[in-house]
Chain A
Amino acid sequence: MEGKEEGIVAVVTLKENAHKVEGGRASVFYAENEEELEYLTMLLSRITTAMAHNLGNGVYILVKH
């Protein structure tokens, strides 16, 4: 499955930031707090072998390069 699909594979953000993301092709994961946010991002990054990026507004995206 590695390298097959390019682009955003998942989006992770806090529940309170839900208005900043719209679901599209990628699944959106909502975290309860910062700690869970970081953990979810790390886990998803490892599982999907995608790179985690921080958009700076509380939204993290996982991108296959």
Chain B
Amino acid sequence: MIKHGTMILLAVILGTGFRVSLLKVDYRQYPGYPNGYIVHLTFGFIAAVLGSLIMPALIEENYIAVTVLGAAVQQFRDIRNMERDFLSEIEATEIIPRGKAYIEGVAKNFEARNYLALITAFMTTVGYYILEQLGVELLFRGLAGIVLGGIVGYILYKIMSNKTVGDIAKVRITDIEFSGPMDANMGVEGVIMMNIGLKEALDNWKESGVGIVIEPKDDNARATLANIGQRQAIMHDLVSQLGTKLDKGIPDYTPVNQLNLDTGRVGMLIVPIEKDKECIKEAVESTPILEDAKRKPLATKVGRKAAD
């Protein structure tokens, strides 16, 4: 039998398992096809194998073997590039594009998940090794490995799960306000956001249009929501879940968003296919806060001082 075989096998299984559990198809609608799964599962497996080999290498005092990790990290960075390239390429075919900030966030997530598999596998071997040194029976060694790997993996998973718009802002669904000659100007809460020239389009907006107001809870949230990429991500998520009556060549139903510069609230207009207020609210609230959009002016001295 392979030396340290049990230890390695256990770690690989646990590490890969964690990667699999993160591979659920969520609202991001990606990956959706087996090809995508195979790519990510294989990389997750490789990451777990690498993680599980660190400890045995150290035990055998084969320190050079550990340096292979450096090369592995390069591989995982390629995943990020691959995801970014892919999502950027298909951007032109999206009715409502994801936006650069969102793509960057997704790409980074996919890279990070491989590290999660690697670390989980590594911690499993650590747990196993410690009890092996204490001379505990095989079964308990295995259990210790699973528990330690599982706990560390779970903590990392929790840390890695993003905040959502619902955490930093209140979302309200309102009616669209029509103003101006022939009601051509649309907006919410007094902010005019769009002018519609065609009567047919205007009637459609009146019938099925929905206004959304996103009210930031504090100044941090206000700065985050002011980010264009973040707002684009909200619109993309909203449209990918509830649909929108929009096609190429007919720009009249393009969803728009606009900041109320005085209050920092985000107004949004959209013609959803499903006009279900609760669902719209939930879709907006569940949009992740993008890492690149996150701002914390209140964490600085100047920011705090300026806020009061």
A residues sitting closer than 8 Å to B (CB atoms) are: 2, 38, 41-42, 45-46, 49-54, 56-57, 60-62, 65
For residue B34, CB closer than 8 A to chain A, the reply is no
Contact A51 B181 (CB under 8 A): no
User: B195 contacts A49, CB within 8 Å?
Assistant: no
A63, chain B: closest CB distance, angstroms? 9
Chain B, residue nearest A12 (CB): B197
Look across to chain B and name the residue whose beta carbon is closest to the beta carbon of A60.
Answer: B197
Q: Take A54-B181, A54-B184, A57-B181 as given contacts and tell me if A49 and B248 are in contact as well, using a CB distance cutoff of 8 Å.
A: yes
Which of A41, A56, A65 has the most B CB atoms < 10 Å from its CB? A56
Q: Is B24 interfacial (CB 8 A cutoff)?
A: no
Q: Assess whether B181 is in contact with A46, with CB atoms less than 8 Å apart.
A: no
Closest A residue to B197 by beta carbon equals A52
The secondary structure that dominates the A interface is mixed
Whether B198 contacts A41 by the Cβ 8 Å rule is yes
Residue of A nearest to B256 (CB): A65
**Which chain B residues numbered 56 to 95 have a C-beta less than 8 Å away from chain A?**
none
- 12 CB < 8 A contacts A-B: A41-B197, A41-B198, A42-B200, A45-B197, A45-B198, A45-B251, A50-B251, A52-B197, A52-B201, A54-B184, A57-B181, A61-B197
Chain B: CB-nearest residue to A52: B197
A57 vs B199: C-alpha distance in the bound complex, in angstroms? 15
The answer to whether B198 and A38 touch across the interface, beta carbons within 8 angstroms, is: yes
B252 on interface, CB distance cutoff 8 Å: yes
Q: Which residues of A are found within 8 Å of B196, using beta-carbon distances? A: 52-54
Q: B192-214 toward A: CB 8 Å interface, digit per residue (1/0)? A: 00011111110000000000000
A residues less than 8 Å from B200 (CB atoms): 42
Most chain A Cβ neighbours within 10 Å, of B181, B195, B196: B195
* Contact across chains for A52 and B248 when beta carbons are under 8 A apart: no
